[in-house]
């Protein structure tokens, strides 16, 4: 038996004002779209913004449903739209925010398991790493690739 260890690397920021200008612009975009989320059941509004390899930016939010499993998270809502409409264009950056009571939450919002799998496949599909910014009012975490959030993944190589 061999015991193995996986090391994860992420960057932490304690203020949004210290983030790069392009990320702050994307946070603004994600916050605006989060306010339009349809989330009457959880009252948790999530906004996601992406930048594609051609510089184009897109955003989306979570959409819930009375039949709970029929709803969808902001991340998958956005990636399915982006990959469906621009199938030749890689997603380079993704920014995530969440609001509760209409206010950006303090801690970073981390994607759920289902979204992680879709985010991973987006990277694999284009063969390009996607930088992910998980933003909170007091703490933001940034990772260079989905490999950090899903290190032992089910992938094309299987
Ligand atoms: N949600 C997202 O949209 N993204 C996440 O990363 C976490 C959860 C949504 C799903 C549901 O509409 C609400 O937030 C509460 O779970």
Catalytic residue among 75, 88, 121, 123: 75
Task: For residue 91, name the pLDDT band (cuts at 50, 70, 90).
Answer: very high
Closest-CA residue to 12 (of 127, 107, 118, 99): 107
| DSSP-assigned letters across all residues of 58-76 | EEEE-B--SSGGG-B-HHH
| 48 pLDDT tier (thresholds 50, 70, 90) | very high
CA distance 77 to 48: 9
User: Ligand 1 pocket check: which of 33, 64, 68, 73 to mutate, most ligand atoms within 8 Å of Cβ?
Assistant: 73
Give the mean pLDDT of the chain. 96
DSSP states of 133-155 as a string? EEE-SS-EEEESSTTTT-SS---
**Distance between CA atoms of 75 and 84, rounded to whole angstroms?**
14
Q: Which two tokens stand for residue 138?
A: 């007091």
Q: How far is the CA of 76 from the centre of ligand 1 (A)?
A: 10
**Under 8 Å between Cβ of 67 and 113:** no
What domains are defined for the chain? 20-149 (3.40.140.10)
75 labelled catalytic: yes
Q: From ligand 1's centre to the CA of 82, what distance in Å? A: 19
Q: Please give the pLDDT value at position 155.
A: 79
H or E stretch at 103: strand 103-104
Alpha carbons 155 and 158: distance in angstroms, whole number: 6
Is 136's pLDDT higher than 80?
A: yes
Report pLDDT digits (tens) over 104-113.
Answer: 999 999 999 9
15 touches 155 (CB < 8 A): no
Q: Which residue's CA is minimally distant from atom 11 of ligand 1?
A: 73
Pick the residue whose CA is nearest to atom 10 on ligand 1.
73
Tokens of 150: 């899903």
Q: Which residues of 109-130 are buried (b: 16+ CB within 10 A; e: fewer)?
A: bebeeebbbbbbbbbeebeeeb
């Amino acid at each position: 038996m061999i015991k193995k260890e996986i090391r994860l690397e992420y960057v932490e920021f304690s203020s949004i004002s210290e983030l790069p200008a392009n990320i702050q612009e994307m946070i603004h975009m994600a916050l605006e779209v989060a306010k339009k989320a349809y989330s009457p059941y959880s009252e948790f509004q999530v906004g996601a913004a992406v930048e594609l390899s051609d510089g184009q930016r897109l955003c989306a939010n979570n959409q819930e449903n009375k039949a709970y499993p029929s709803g969808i998270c902001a991340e998958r809502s956005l990636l399915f739209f982006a990959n469906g409409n621009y199938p030749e264009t890689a997603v380079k950056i993704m920014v995530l925010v969440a609001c509760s009571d209409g206010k950006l939450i303090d801690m970073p919002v981390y994607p759920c398991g289902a979204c992680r799998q879709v985010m991973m496949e987006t990277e694999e599909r284009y063969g390009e790493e996607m930088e992910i910014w998980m933003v909170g009012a007091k703490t933001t975490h940034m990772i260079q690739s989905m490999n950090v959030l899903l290190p032992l993944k089910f992938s094309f190589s299987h």
